[in-house]
């Protein structure tokens, strides 16, 4: 069965609308699920006024998210209904004939145009919402420099990958997907290894942890769990926001634990070692390598499905093109693939939440569950996170379990002798 261009267009619009409605419903459910009374688990560190401020922050973010998604939904809908993508292709064809040049110009223009159109919204998010709740540390200069660097990085990495993809499709036909899968695998692998040494330094300053007493404790812990620690780095997250975080990066010898300066500022040494133990737990339980394998599998599946659709002329015609164009088909594929990628996202989030429990358990077993509980509570308060997200919202969007669930799970590991006032 072959769909006509008109039917494809209807399908594309239906998928776009379905995605928009799903997100809208989840947002509403999530907002309604919140409770105005503060849970007792966090009563020791949350004051009631601050809790109300967290509720306001979540409302503000949800309203803002609704405005941005409505805006981009309407824009994409108009482009589809008026054949805007096909029109852009026809205009570019007058000047560029090479399929790689054509694809680069096509996606380059779309990317820059959509970023420019949404610039006021991005500005509002950082300088109005985050500012109002006291999170923002970004200066205008940093904001625009970030944009510029983002463009350069996108042009080099995105442009390079796109050029390789178009070249392979044009020269190898349907078997392109296997070869490009190899390239993507290499790319993801290098990105994993080089992330903290090449990408992060473009945006932030990384420095070795200098706090001697904290480093001693970290080394003692690492020795205890025989984790050869080479690098504990501090990132200047405070350059952009007061929000705090920590992450693990790299494979094999390149592995590093990165702590935000904002995290170090607000937590005791024991809490910091507990957070680090959680990150090392991810490594010890093989989550890093499993994550890599999972993203390889997802990329392979996506490329295979792409190979089934990429030569379909009707997709180009559905977008308003005059002839078949690889970049038009690629764009149509992106829209057709969105339900699959939503399902993949749900699947990855499910695994990620499971991994978070495992890393928490690791930290509870090998270090101190109560210190991690306190750290998680403080982080949640500091970031004004939602304590009562709707289960459906968590199912679709959350890569980490909600705080109260994590605290409850960690309670199993709280040792009778460590619940006292040791600090
Ligand atoms: Zn984690």
- Span 122-172, pLDDT tens digits: 999 999 999 999 999 999 999 999 999 999 999 999 999 999 999 999 999
Q: What is the separation of C-alpha 315 from the centre of its chain, rounded to a whole number of angstroms? A: 29
The arithmetic mean of pLDDT across residues 394-420, rounded, is 87
Ligand 1 centroid – CA 370 distance (Å): 16
Which candidate, 271, 297, 262, places its Cα nearest to that of 382?
262
Ligand 1 centroid – CA 399 distance (Å): 9
Residue-level pLDDT at 197: 87
Q: How confident is the model at residue 416 (pLDDT cuts 50, 70, 90)?
A: low
Q: How confident is the model at residue 36 (pLDDT cuts 50, 70, 90)?
A: confident
Rounded CA separation 108/120 (Å): 20
Instruction: Tell me what the pLDDT averaged over the chain comes to.
Output: 93
Rounded CA separation 341/298 (Å): 9
pLDDT at 182 over 50: yes
pLDDT at 423 over 70: no
| Burial environment of residue 86 by CB neighbours within 10 A (0 to 12, 13 to 18, 19 or more) | buried
Ligand 1 centroid – CA 149 distance (Å): 28
Contacts of 223 (CB under 8 A, 6+ apart): none
Rounded CA separation 251/283 (Å): 9
Ligand 1 centroid – CA 377 distance (Å): 14
Query: What phi and psi values does residue 420 have, to the nearest 5 degrees?
Result: -70, -165
Ligand 1 centroid – CA 257 distance (Å): 12
Label residues 362-386 b or e (16+ Cβ within 10 Å = b).
bbbebbbbbbbbbbbbbbbbbbbbb
pLDDT at 42 over 70: yes
Ligand 1 centroid – CA 348 distance (Å): 14
Residue-level pLDDT at 415: 75
Rounded CA separation 241/313 (Å): 47
Residue-level pLDDT at 385: 92
345-385 pLDDT, tens digit per residue, is 999 999 999 999 999 999 999 999 999 999 999 999 999 99
Q: What is the separation of C-alpha 27 from the centre of its chain, rounded to a whole number of angstroms? A: 18
Ligand 1 centroid – CA 79 distance (Å): 40
Can you list the positions of beta strands (E) in 271-393?
Answer: none
Ligand 1 centroid – CA 301 distance (Å): 26
- Of these ranges, 190-194, 198-202, 414-418, the one predicted with the greatest mean pLDDT is 198-202
The arithmetic mean of pLDDT across residues 43-51, rounded, is 88
| Burial environment of residue 93 by CB neighbours within 10 A (0 to 12, 13 to 18, 19 or more) | middle
The arithmetic mean of pLDDT across residues 278-286, rounded, is 94
Ligand 1 centroid – CA 138 distance (Å): 26
Rounded CA separation 17/240 (Å): 34
Residue-level pLDDT at 1: 60
Q: How confident is the model at residue 192 (pLDDT cuts 50, 70, 90)?
A: confident
Q: How confident is the model at residue 176 (pLDDT cuts 50, 70, 90)?
A: very high
Ligand 1 centroid – CA 227 distance (Å): 17
Ligand 1 centroid – CA 62 distance (Å): 25
Residue-level pLDDT at 235: 96
Which candidate, 53, 179, 160, places its Cα nearest to that of 107?
160
Q: How confident is the model at residue 231 (pLDDT cuts 50, 70, 90)?
A: confident
- Residues of the chain with pLDDT > 90, as a percent, come to 86
Ligand 1 centroid – CA 300 distance (Å): 26
Residue whose token pair is 């993507």: 184
Contacts of 198 (CB under 8 A, 6+ apart): none
Q: What is the pTM of this model?
A: 0.90
Label residue 417 left, alpha or beta by phi (over 0 means left) and psi (-120 to 50 means alpha): alpha
Ligand 1 centroid – CA 403 distance (Å): 12
Rounded CA separation 53/45 (Å): 14
Ligand 1 centroid – CA 30 distance (Å): 23
Residue-level pLDDT at 260: 95
Ligand 1 centroid – CA 278 distance (Å): 6
Q: How many CA atoms lie within 13 A of 343 on its CB side?
A: 7
Contacts of 295 (CB under 8 A, 6+ apart): 188
Residue-level pLDDT at 420: 46
Q: How many CA atoms lie within 13 A of 51 on its CB side?
A: 18
pLDDT at 217 over 50: yes
Q: Under DSSP, is residue 259 helix (H, G, I), strand (E, B) or coil?
A: strand
Q: Under DSSP, is residue 240 helix (H, G, I), strand (E, B) or coil?
A: coil
DSSP category for residue 227: -
Rounded CA separation 179/221 (Å): 44
């Amino acid at each position: 069965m072959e769909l006509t261009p008109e039917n494809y267009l209807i399908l594309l619009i239906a998928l776009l609308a379905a995605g928009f409605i799903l997100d809208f419903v989840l947002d509403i459910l999530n907002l309604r699920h919140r409770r105005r009374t503060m849970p007792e688990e966090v009563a020791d560190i949350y004051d009631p006024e601050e809790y109300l401020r967290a509720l306001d922050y979540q409302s503000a973010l949800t309203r803002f998210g609704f405005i941005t998604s409505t805006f981009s939904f309407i824009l994409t809908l108009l482009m589809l209904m008026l054949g805007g993508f096909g029109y852009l292709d026809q205009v570019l064809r007058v000047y560029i004939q090479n399929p790689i040049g054509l694809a680069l110009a096509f996606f380059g223009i779309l990317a820059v145009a959509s970023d420019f159109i949404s610039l006021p919204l991005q500005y509002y998010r950082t300088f109005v919402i985050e500012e109002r709740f006291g999170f923002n540390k970004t200066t205008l200069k940093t904001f625009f420099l970030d944009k510029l660097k983002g463009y350069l990085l996108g042009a080099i990495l995105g442009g390079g990958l796109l050029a390789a993809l178009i070249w392979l499709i044009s020269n190898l036909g349907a078997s392109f997907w296997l070869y490009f899968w190899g390239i993507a695998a290499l790319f993801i692998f290098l990105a994993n290894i080089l992330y903290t040494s090449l990408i992060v330094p473009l945006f932030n300053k990384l420095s070795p942890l200098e706090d001697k007493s904290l480093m001693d404790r970290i080394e003692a812990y690492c020795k205890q769990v025989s984790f050869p620690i080479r690098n504990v780095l501090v990132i200047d997250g405070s350059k952009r926001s007061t929000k705090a975080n920590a992450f693990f990066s790299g494979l094999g010898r390149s592995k590093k634990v990165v702590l935000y300066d904002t995290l170090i500022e607000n937590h005791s040494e024991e809490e910091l070692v507990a957070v680090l133990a959680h990150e090392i737990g991810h490594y010890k339980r093989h989550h890093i390598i499993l994550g890599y394998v999972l993203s390889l599998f997802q990329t392979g599946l996506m490329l295979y499905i792409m190979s089934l659709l990429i030569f379909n002329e009707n997709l180009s015609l559905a977008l308003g093109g005059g002839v078949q164009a690889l970049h038009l088909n690629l764009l149509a594929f992106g829209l057709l693939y969105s339900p699959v990628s939503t399902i993949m996202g749900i699947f990855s989030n499910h695994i990620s939440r499971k991994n978070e429990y495992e890393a928490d358990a690791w930290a509870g077993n090998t270090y101190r569950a109560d210190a991690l509980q306190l750290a998680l509570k403080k982080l949640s308060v500091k970031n004004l996170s939602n304590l009562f997200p709707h289960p459906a919202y968590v199912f679709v969007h959350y890569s980490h379990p909600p705080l109260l669930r994590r605290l409850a799970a960690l309670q199993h590991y709280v040792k009778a002798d460590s619940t006292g006032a040791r600090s």
